[in-house]
Amino acid sequence: MAPLNPYTYIQCPCSDSASLGRPSDATSPTSADGDDEDNTFDPRAPRANFSLYPLEYLLYCEDCHQIRCPRCITEEIATYFCPSCLFEVPSSNLKSEGNRCTRSCFQCPICIGPLSVTSIETPPSDPTLLAPDHAATPHSTYSLICSYCNWSSTEIGIQFDKPNSIHAQLAKIRNGGASRLTAKERKERRKELSHRGGEAAVVAASEASGGQDMDLETQFANLKLFYNSQLADPNAEDNGLSSLGDLGFSSPSSLSRIMNLYTGGKLHDPRAKSKLGAMREAITAGEGLLEPNLDESSLISQLHQSDFLDTASSTQICSQPPNLGELHLHGAARFNSSLRPVPYLLRTKRSKRCPVCRHIISKPEAKVQTTRFRIRLVAGSYIPSISIRRLNLPGPNGPAAPAILGDLLEPLKPVHFLLTFKNPIFESLKVTLGAPAKTPGRFPSKVTVLCPQFDIDANTDVWDEALKDNDRESSNRSRRRAGTESQFQVEVGKIWERGRNWVSIVVEVVPASLKLEAGQDVLKEDEDVLEIPMFVRIEWEAENGGEDAASGPGRDKEQKEKRELAYWCVLGLGRIRQG
Amino acid sequence: MSSKRHSILPAVSAGPKPPVQFSSSITIADSALLTGTNLITISSESVIHPRAKLDSLAGRITIGRRCVVHERTMLGVLGTSGKVTEQAVTLGDYVTVEVAASIEAGNTIIGEGSTVGVGSKIGAGAVIGKHCTLTPHTEIPAGEIIPDFTVIYSNGMKRIDKRGVADLKNKGQARQIDVLKRMIPSTPAKFT
């Protein structure tokens, strides 16, 4: 069984506590409790898992004076940046260029390591010929090389002329080195043609080129153009079924005609076309029709010959961005040898807000390189942290055995745990604890918190404490002496030890026996973990905010306001020995 | 033995002094550890870093030309199989054995131009081909035969290196050895 280190999880109040109080199975004895005013929090309920967080994950809203968890917080994106080049991308570029880095940052498609642009030295053409004095090649080519798995973009036949703006160069090259036209270039060509030869020339050109290279982008562009033309003017000459009176509802001309039928009379526009047009689908490649090539025998024979590890895995295929230079669907990469470099996905820096009062809880610096925060209100600086360790008290037969962390708990033998509460705020806290006498679940263990109410001193400076130390030394000594006497005796209602800003108390637990009766189900996963739900209520006096500063006379200088916060938390103590 | 130890690692016990056959142009550090009873041959221009351990108890060790053996490597380790053969470990020309790599004895052959990554473990009798790249912390089981130009990465994944940079790598290694020659004071006489 995996050893268990003691942990503390805190429940965020955003979850519906009423539904968490009811235990899941009917055999547990807590169901007999019925509905208390505060339903005992059951950490074994299926929903409880989603509302429990360690203290480090929780944030705190100062206006609401309430804990906030990652589930209930509202996030806003502050900046987008590329994780590889740390270049900040303005959010306006996101819509036009997508959520990937458009500079030279790429991931190896095989091993997801970063690719670096390296120049490929062309070997000397003929060693017997005399090399010129300036032997540097004027035209050097570059390629992307992975420094971990030694993959190179030359394996898919791609080389570059310039070492920068690789993304743009890559968009123009297909696997194997053939070039393709990007969307911009296509538009420009279309414009040129329409200037020279008019509409017919454009159509003729698109028909001609449609047969050759119908890649994803071209097909989409052609189809979009065709549909737009259909929507605008469905009554073109080459319509088929229009005479049969098919109604094309989406065409604006037909819509206006139908509306005119209802409004009728003089409003009818005499110039409106009376003949109704029907929309049709694309017929030629120039309009965007891609004839399916269902003969995959060449692909199948290639699969027969190649190794399983030569085919691209599903993660590799999913991480490939859509390849605009290949056919839609038929051109998807199946083999490792046709995988293209993957541009890095952009990451975000997010600022977090309280969902209730919209107060900013966490705000990182806008600059990408700094990891600091402008505002950071974490729960760890407002609520006390609880650390747990096992306390071995000497039994009636000799000194205590040393505690091993993660040791299994013996069933039906009382164990003691030391809980240390550390106060992070600059005021003294009053803590009240409440734990059910029996833990919820199929195997209830008995729990006794020996000191359920205590005070913790404020988190003052270490220097203040040192200065006061001289005054308090005598009182400390007497306190410690008293402590050593009672060190081996656990007393109800007394704390174990106290420090500058912390207090430790003892919790006595009698773990349940995990013996299964006849007819009971087998032990479920983690059902042998001893977990105590505990209700923590903290009260402190805080200085009032600056709102009431200008109130009338008769007020004290510092108006202290009593504040309290209450939450459920779960202490995981250890695993109980089975059998 | 050096007079005062500065290292916090435990002292390595010295074994018998092996017979050696060094080329005149090698660079071998003073604190390299050569132990064993069989012959250790190091060919021209190779570099042995400080605290590299060459153990020829289980057979001869032959290191090719222009090899670089880094610190804390162990060549000729007697693994669990404990094979004792005539030739324990053979390194081809231009081989690089990175820091903390260990190569077990028992006819283990590393081909020309290969790079054994940091912390790798090569089992007894394995044959690594030419110009292979073993990424850090790879483990080659005993007796495995790795073809030429293989890259072993991740958890034992293999692929063929098609960069075609073998010559460039060799040239780079030669330049690196030039620099190392000036940085490591060489004391071959200590071992002969």
**CB-CB neighbors (< 8 A) of B134 in chain A:** none
Q: Is A569 helix (H, G, I), strand (E, B) or coil?
A: strand
The per-residue pLDDT for A399 is: 57
Helix (H) or strand (E) holding A219: helix A216-232
Q: Are the beta carbons of B163 and A309 separated by less than 8 Å?
A: no
**CB-CB neighbors (< 8 A) of A145 in chain B:** 163
Query: CB of A149 within 8 Å of any CB in chain B?
Result: yes
Interface of B with A (CB under 8 A): 133, 135, 151, 153-154, 157-159, 161-163, 167-168
Which letter, b or e, does each residue of A18-51 get, where b requires 16 or more Cβ atoms within 10 Å of its Cβ? eebbebeeeebebeeeeeeeebbbbbbbeebeeb
Whether A378 contacts A361, CB under 8 Å? no
pLDDT category, B39, cuts 50, 70, 90? very high
Q: Are the beta carbons of B159 and A336 separated by less than 8 Å?
A: yes
Place of tokens 């570099």: B47
- B151, B169, B170: which to substitute to probe chain A, counting the most A Cβ within 10 Å? B151
CA B149 to chain A, closest CA, distance in angstroms equals 10
The per-residue pLDDT for A209 is: 56
**CB-CB neighbors (< 8 A) of A336 in chain B:** 159
Question: How does pLDDT run across B98-125, given as a tens digit for each residue?
Answer: 999 999 999 999 999 999 999 999 999 9
**CB-CB neighbors (< 8 A) of B135 in chain A:** 148-149
Query: CB of A151 within 8 Å of any CB in chain B?
Result: yes
Q: Are the beta carbons of A121 and B163 separated by less than 8 Å?
A: no
The per-residue pLDDT for B37 is: 92
List CB contacts of A436: < 8 A, sequence separation 6 or more: A30, A40, A447, A533
Place of tokens 């999880």: A9
What is the C-alpha separation between A444 and A442, in angstroms, rounded? 6
* Residue of chain B with shortest Cα separation from A336: B159
Q: Are the beta carbons of B163 and A154 separated by less than 8 Å?
A: yes
The helix/strand count (H/E) of chain A reads as: 10, 22
What is the C-alpha separation between A287 and A229, in angstroms, rounded? 10
Q: Are the beta carbons of A145 and B135 separated by less than 8 Å?
A: no
Q: Are the beta carbons of A336 and B157 separated by less than 8 Å?
A: no
**CB-CB neighbors (< 8 A) of A154 in chain B:** 162-163
Q: Are the beta carbons of B161 and A150 separated by less than 8 Å?
A: yes
**CB-CB neighbors (< 8 A) of A152 in chain B:** 162-163
Q: Are the beta carbons of A150 and B154 separated by less than 8 Å?
A: no
Whether B77 contacts B102, CB under 8 Å? yes
Task: Tell me the backbone φ, ψ of residue A206, rounded to 5 degrees.
Answer: -70, -35
**Nearest neighbour of B162 by CB, restricted to A123, A148, A155:** A155
**CB-CB neighbors (< 8 A) of A111 in chain B:** 153-154
Query: CB of A148 within 8 Å of any CB in chain B?
Result: yes
**Nearest neighbour of A111 by CB, restricted to B133, B153, B167:** B153
Task: Using DSSP bridges, classify how beta strands B96-97 and B53-56 pair: parallel, antiparallel or unpaired.
Answer: unpaired
What is the C-alpha separation between A431 and A454, in angstroms, rounded? 5
Q: Could you tell me how far CA B53 lies from the centroid of its own chain?
A: 9
Task: Using DSSP bridges, classify how beta strands B68-69 and B47-48 pair: parallel, antiparallel or unpaired.
Answer: parallel
**Nearest neighbour of B159 by CB, restricted to A121, A149, A154:** A149
Q: Are the beta carbons of A121 and B153 separated by less than 8 Å?
A: no
Residue B17 has which token pair?
A: 């002094």
Q: Please name the amino acid found at residue A197.
A: G
- A118, A119, A150: which to substitute to probe chain B, counting the most B Cβ within 10 Å? A150
* Residue of chain A with shortest Cα separation from B135: A148
Select from A498, A493, A468 the least CA-distant residue to A482: A498
* Residue of chain B with shortest Cα separation from A146: B163
Query: CB of A365 within 8 Å of any CB in chain B?
Result: no
What is the C-alpha separation between A119 and A141, in angstroms, rounded? 6
**CB-CB neighbors (< 8 A) of A309 in chain B:** 157-158
Q: Are the beta carbons of B154 and A111 separated by less than 8 Å?
A: yes
Rg (CA), chain A: 37
Whether A349 contacts A86, CB under 8 Å? no
Q: Is A199 helix (H, G, I), strand (E, B) or coil?
A: helix
List CB contacts of B181: < 8 A, sequence separation 6 or more: B27, B47
Q: Please name the amino acid found at residue B10.
A: P
Whether the model pTM is above 0.80: no
Whether A491 contacts A546, CB under 8 Å? no
**CB-CB neighbors (< 8 A) of A121 in chain B:** 168
pLDDT in tens, chain A (579 residues): 567 889 999 998 887 644 334 444 433 333 333 333 356 788 888 888 888 999 999 999 999 889 999 999 999 999 999 999 999 999 888 888 888 999 889 999 998 999 999 988 765 554 445 545 445 555 688 999 999 999 999 999 899 999 988 998 888 888 877 777 777 777 788 788 878 876 666 666 655 555 555 778 888 888 888 888 888 776 655 544 444 444 555 566 677 777 877 776 655 555 555 454 577 888 887 888 888 778 888 888 999 999 888 899 999 988 988 888 777 777 778 888 889 999 999 999 999 999 989 999 999 998 999 999 999 999 999 999 999 988 887 766 555 555 555 578 888 889 999 999 999 999 899 999 999 999 888 888 999 999 999 999 888 877 776 777 666 555 555 454 444 444 557 788 888 889 888 999 999 999 988 888 877 788 888 888 899 999 999 999 987 654 444 444 544 556 788 999 999 999 999 888 886
Residue B148 has which token pair?
A: 């030429």
**CB-CB neighbors (< 8 A) of B157 in chain A:** 309
CA A141 to chain B, closest CA, distance in angstroms equals 14
Select from A43, A51, A45, A46 the least CA-distant residue to A72: A51
Q: Are the beta carbons of B153 and A149 separated by less than 8 Å?
A: yes
Query: CB of A150 within 8 Å of any CB in chain B?
Result: yes
CA distance readout (Å), A459 to A68, A429, A465, A499, B48: 23, 10, 10, 10, 58
**CB-CB neighbors (< 8 A) of B153 in chain A:** 111, 148-149
Whether A451 contacts A41, CB under 8 Å? no
- A149, A151, A156, A311: which to substitute to probe chain B, counting the most B Cβ within 10 Å? A149
- DSSP E strands, A215-273: none
CA B135 to chain A, closest CA, distance in angstroms equals 7
Whether A416 contacts A394, CB under 8 Å? no
Helix (H) or strand (E) holding A209: helix A199-212
* Count of pairs with CB atoms under 8 A, one residue in A, one in B: 27
**Nearest neighbour of A150 by CB, restricted to B133, B154, B167:** B133
The per-residue pLDDT for A241 is: 45
B162 in the Ramachandran plot: left (φ > 0), alpha (ψ -120 to 50) or beta? alpha
**Residue A364: HSE in the Cβ half-sphere, 13 Å Cα cutoff:** 17
Query: CB of A62 within 8 Å of any CB in chain B?
Result: no
Whether A529 contacts A4, CB under 8 Å? yes
Q: Is A398 helix (H, G, I), strand (E, B) or coil?
A: coil
Query: CB of A145 within 8 Å of any CB in chain B?
Result: yes
Q: Are the beta carbons of A148 and B153 separated by less than 8 Å?
A: yes
Q: Are the beta carbons of B159 and A151 separated by less than 8 Å?
A: yes
Which DSSP letter does residue A378 get? Answer: B
**Nearest neighbour of A150 by CB, restricted to B151, B154, B167:** B151
CA B153 to chain A, closest CA, distance in angstroms equals 6
